[in-house]
Amino acid sequence: MIPLVFLFLTLFNHEVYGRARWTEAQANAWFQSQTYIMGSQYITSDAGNQLEMFQNDTFNPTLIDYELGLAESLGMTTMRIFLHDLAYSQDPTGFKSRLETLLQICSKHGIKPLLTIFDSCWNAFPKAGKQPEPITGVMLSDIVGTYANDARVLGWDLWNEPGNAFNATQNAALEQLLPQVFDWALSVDPTQPVTAGIWAGLNGVVPSIQINNSDIMSFHNYDPASNFEGMIKTMQQFNRPIICTEYMARTRGSSFITHLPIGKQYNIGMINWGFVNGKTQNNYPWDSWQNPYTTYQPYLWFHEVFRNDGTPYMVEEAQVIKRLNGCPKGLKSTAASLKGLTCYNAYTTPLNSTDAAAACAKTYSNLGIIGSAAQNTDVINYVSANFSSCDKFYIGLYQDAYGGYDWPMAGWTYDNSAYVNWKTGYPTNDTTAKCVVLNKDGTWTNQACSTPQCYICSY
């Protein structure tokens, strides 16, 4: 028989408190069921802040659809999106209908957003001074409650950088409010995790509240690789999944190329600050408040993945991001490779070699580069199984001005120790046959570059 008091507590617990903080096992099981969590903080490039992004007059679903398409093209799986308490309180119904539209667009692009509710950095203390609690609690339980069972939402980042730029009075209020914020979120029994990122060390009352209440751990770090790795190790002590919810400030030594492989190695989620350059001007460093960069441009962009025209700021970064997202919709070869290129996509619309190379470049790839016999076999198996309509495919190898053969990567030229798999009698010494195709039997032959063929891209 179930003791009455236990039954009562269970009911009480469910009705009033929603759910408890996940156990470590629950949190880790959740993490393992997700595809690799990688993405950017996202605000539409035509908005200067979240209020503009979410207000009725300036909400722009067409642009969101285009920009999240860019995220999808890099294989990103999440976007960290700040909501805004003012946009909500002006018009809760309208705000939620726009949030619904946003979630539909996210879902279309395979993006599960991490929704961020409150912010110490960008807004003032929510409704500072005058009874913040009721407004805060209503908004939280309404928004989290509306989507508590919605698989389109990755999780709830309840408060961005709690205490950043707060004075002592505000901090004292925060110490009272923050535990309630977690309680309100859990009161509606969300199926997603709640978190609030550590941003200035683990010591102090506020970080302690964050650590003790988060289902999954999250942190911000804009430091070079060794410090970043140290922070991951520090966060591992809690035995819970970890997401780095802010990094990437190129001039501080925090970049995609340095940090993404470390994040992947430790299997933590990776979300950088900045996506498409626009009205927030996140390409400028933090000192742009004092130095507005009106007379010269920064020599290296601080944040952002894409330029405003939709091209990546650095193609090499786009390639690294895409590759670490696990070769979306293509072959991931585990065989020995050249320059770490392991992902392949084949295309069946015949193009001449110049146009094929340009088509690859559009997906942040090179015309196929094959680095070993095992990789050649992987590629052949992949195209035979999936692209049987083509009997040959352009790869990137081409005859240079001296009659040698090169791969199409800057700074890398043909060397005789590199793997080749010429068909007997090839390459022919024909100066009109400077491009190379991979044949169905795995051999390579050179031919005219103008002939339209299927082609393979790699990155």
Ligand X SMILES: *[C@@H]1O[C@H](CO)[C@@H](O)[C@H](O)[C@H]1NC(C)=O
Which residue's CB atom is positioned nearest to ligand X?
450
Return the number of the residue (60 or 258) whose C-beta is nearest ligand X.
60
Containing 453, the helix (H) or strand (E) segment is: strand 453-458
Cα torsion through 191, 196, 201, 205, rounded to 10: -100
Structure tokens at 298: 């920064």
Nearer to ligand X, 127 or 152 (CB): 127
Closest CB to ligand X among residues 29, 205: 205
Q: Which amino acid is at 69?
A: G
Provide the minimum distance between the beta carbon of 96 and ligand X in the complex, in angstroms, as a whole number: 13
- Residue 458 makes CB contacts below 8 A (sequence gap 6+) with 341, 342, 343, 344, 345, 360, 365, 366, 367, 368, 369, 370, 396
d(CA 356, CA 457): 9
Pick from 208, 267, 297, 349 the residue near ligand X by CB under 6 A: 208
Among positions 336, 428, 430, 432, the unique one binding ligand X when judged by CB under 6 A: 428
Q: Which residues inside 34-63 make contact with ligand X, applying CB under 6 A?
A: 56-57
Window contacting ligand X (CB under 6 A); options: 36-44, 240-248, 367-375, 421-429: 421-429
The amino acid present at 219, given as its one-letter code, is F
Binding window for ligand X (CB under 6 A); candidates: 111-119, 206-214, 296-304, 365-373:
206-214
Based on the shown chain and the rule CB under 6 A, indicate whether residue 413 belongs to the binding site for ligand X: no
Smallest distance from ligand X to CB 50, Å: 17
Q: How far is CA 61 from the centre of its chain?
A: 20
Residue number with CB closer to ligand X (195 or 254): 195
Q: Applying CB under 6 A, which part among 133-141, 149-157, 265-273, 423-431 lies near ligand X? A: 423-431
Angle between helices 61-73 and 92-108 (to 10 degrees): 30
Stretch that binds ligand X, among 63-71, 81-89, 204-212, 291-299 (CB under 6 A): 204-212
Distance CA 91, CA 142 (A): 13
Shortest distance (Å) from residue 44 CB to ligand X: 15
Between residue 324 and residue 363, which ones bind ligand X under the rule CB under 6 A?
A: 329-330, 352-355
Distance, CA of 191 to CA of 181 (rounded, Å):
17
Q: How many residues bind ligand X (CB under 6 A)?
A: 25
| Cα 380 to Cα 360: distance, rounded to the nearest angstrom | 19
114-173: contacts with ligand X (CB under 6 A):
128, 167, 169-170
Q: State which of residues 11, 29, 151, 205 lies at the interface with ligand X (CB under 6 A).
A: 205
Give the C-alpha separation, 268 to 405, whole Å: 40
Instruction: Provide, rounded to whole angstroms, the least separation between the CB of residue 382 and ligand X.
Output: 6
Nearer to ligand X, 233 or 329 (CB): 329
Burial of 82 (0-12, 13-18, 19+ CB in 10 A): buried
Contacts of 49 (CB under 8 A, 6+ apart): 43, 84, 122, 280
Token pair belonging to 103: 């979630």
Scan residues 234-263 and list those touching ligand X (CB under 6 A).
none
Residue 72 or 355 with smaller CB distance to ligand X: 355
CA distance 429 to 399: 10
Residue 130 beta carbon to ligand X: minimum distance, rounded to whole angstroms: 11
Segment 375 to 404, residues that bind ligand X, using CB under 6 A: 382, 385-386
Considering the complex, state which of residue 318 and residue 379 has its C-beta at the smaller distance from ligand X: 379
Output the smallest distance, CB 177 to ligand X, in A. Answer: 13
User: Does an H or E element contain 393, and which?
Assistant: strand 392-399
Query: Which residues contribute to the site for ligand X (CB under 6 A)?
Result: 56-57, 94, 128, 167, 169-170, 205, 208-209, 212, 329-330, 352-355, 382, 385-386, 425, 428-429, 449-450
